[in-house]
């Protein structure tokens, strides 16, 4: 009895391939596919793409190996680009310094936007003189009919400009003289120390009055020069003492052996390590310059036509503000001076924390 015949699949070897391929003669080829091959989704029992198991879909959503790393690097670089400097974080963490920064920022904004804040021109004298405070003139008017509030706003500019420039001049002279004397030693130190001590023993106020009184011209420029010329001695003494303590450090000795010159060592090696002291000296010099400018203007040694808090006090005193009851004319510039100098003093507490970690507040 003959056994039933079975159709066996035919095997053929694909050209150029080491693997055998099974082809079914009676299996029709699918449209759009290669002859003799069947896609996974077209095979019996296969699921469509949208009904594949969740595991397969999750595997398809996994990003490339380096994609997440690139995203992390980009995010970290963005954070680093907008990160607040460490020195500002230290200063801002001090509560007193934070209040001082806010107060100083307020005065700076007032000085910048003075033309938009002041209701009138500070030199406009078309109003009635010696008026009491009212809705039209918040702080009243002067004897000459000028708006006191407008002069107060514009006077902020003068005080900030004098403080910034005179403090910069005094700090520059203190840096040059004090650091040179502390590093070079010898006869250079003896000569420069003589002038430092001379500047310390001579009273600053009488010296400023004498120079300003005999100056051929009067104005803000001569006041800045006088204050800067007479206010560098204390800063130079502190910087000289600091340089003497730093000049024996190992990195200074290494710079000498490398062939660096004295001034390169002073400004490239020594000065960066005492920047907190330099900033502290500058703020103190600017603070003193603001008070000195107001004092010289109050004594009549400045330009009387300049709008500043000192000239406001000068004209209020000459106009008899206390006798006529114009308290706002006299008190307003005095309070403004007090608040501005207080702001700079408060900022110094935060600057001290830069060089002394024990003063930092958590």
Cβ contact 154:125 at 8 Å? no
Q: List Cβ neighbours of 170 (8 Å cut-off, separation of 6 or more).
A: 227, 228, 231, 232, 235, 285, 289
The helix (H) or strand (E) run that includes residue 92 is: helix 86-93
Average pLDDT of span 9-13: 47
Output the pTM of the full model.
Answer: 0.73
Q: Quickly tell me which residue has 């510039």 as its tokens.
A: 333
d(CA 50, CA 56): 11
Structure-block tokens of residue 87? 């020195």
Q: Which residues pair with 12 in a beta bridge?
A: 21
Three-class SS of 133-159: CCCCCCCCECCCCCEHHHHHHHHHHHH
pLDDT tens string 60-74: 555 555 555 555 555
d(CA 256, CA 120): 61
Instruction: Give the 3-state secondary structure of residue 345.
Output: helix
Domain at 86-115+137-359, CATH homologous superfamily = MetI-like (1.10.3720.10)
Q: Counting every residue, how long is the chain?
A: 362
- Give percent above pLDDT 90 in the chain: 36
Structure-block tokens of residue 65? 């190996």
Q: Look at 305 and 162; give whichever has higher pLDDT.
A: 162
Q: Residue 150: its pLDDT value, please?
A: 95
Q: Residue 119: its pLDDT value, please?
A: 93
Cβ contact 208:230 at 8 Å? yes
pLDDT tens string 213-263: 888 888 889 999 999 988 899 999 989 998 988 888 888 888 888 888 888
d(CA 294, CA 311): 7
d(CA 269, CA 250): 11
d(CA 146, CA 305): 12
Q: Residue 19: its pLDDT value, please?
A: 43
Structure-block tokens of residue 166? 């005179």
**Residues 176, 177, 181: CA angle, nearest 5 degrees:** 115
Nearest to 297 by CA among 218, 216, 202, 207: 218
Q: How many whole angstroms from its chain centre is CA 264?
A: 26
Inform me whether the pLDDT recorded for 51 exceeds 60. no
């Amino acid at each position: 009895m003959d056994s039933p015949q079975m159709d066996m699949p035919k095997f053929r070897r694909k050209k150029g391939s080491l693997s055998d391929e099974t082809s079914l003669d009676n299996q029709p080829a699918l449209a759009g596919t290669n002859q003799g091959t069947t896609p996974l989704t077209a095979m019996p029992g296969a699921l469509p793409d949208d009904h594949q198991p969740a595991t397969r879909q999750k595997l398809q959503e996994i990003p490339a190996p380096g994609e997440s790393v690139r995203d992390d690097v980009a995010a970290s670089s963005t954070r680093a680009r907008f990160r607040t400097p460490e020195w500002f974080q230290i200063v801002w963490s001090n509560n007193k310094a934070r209040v001082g920064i806010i107060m100083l920022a307020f005065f700076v904004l007032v000085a910048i936007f003075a033309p938009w804040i002041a209701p009138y021109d500070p030199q406009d004298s078309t109003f009635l003189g010696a008026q009491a405070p009212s809705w039209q003139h918040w702080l009243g008017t002067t004897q000459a009919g000028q708006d006191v509030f407008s002069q107060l706003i514009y006077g902020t500019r003068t005080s900030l400009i004098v403080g910034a420039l005179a403090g910069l001049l005094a700090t520059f002279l203190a840096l040059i003289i004090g650091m040179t004397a502390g590093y070079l030693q010898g006869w250079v130190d003896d000569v420069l120390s003589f002038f430092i001590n001379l500047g310390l023993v001579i009273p600053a106020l009488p010296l400023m009055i004498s120079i300003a009184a005999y100056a051929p011209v009067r104005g803000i420029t001569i006041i800045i020069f006088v204050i800067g010329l007479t206010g560098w001695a204390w800063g130079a003494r502190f910087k000289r003492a600091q340089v003497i303590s730093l000049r024996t450090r190992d990195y200074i000795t290494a710079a000498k052996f490398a062939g660096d010159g004295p001034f390169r060592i002073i400004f490239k090696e020594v000065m960066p390590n005492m920047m907190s002291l330099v900033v502290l000296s500058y703020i103190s010099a600017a603070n003193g310059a603001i008070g000195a400018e107001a004092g010289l203007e109050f004594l009549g040694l400045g330009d009387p036509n300049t709008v500043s808090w000192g000239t406001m006090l000068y004209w209020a005193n000459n106009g008899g503000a206390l006798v006529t009851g114009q308290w706002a004319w006299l008190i307003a510039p005095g309070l403004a001076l007090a608040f501005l100098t207080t702001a700079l003093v408060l900022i110094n507490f935060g600057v001290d924390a830069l060089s002394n970690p024990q003063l930092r507040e958590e």
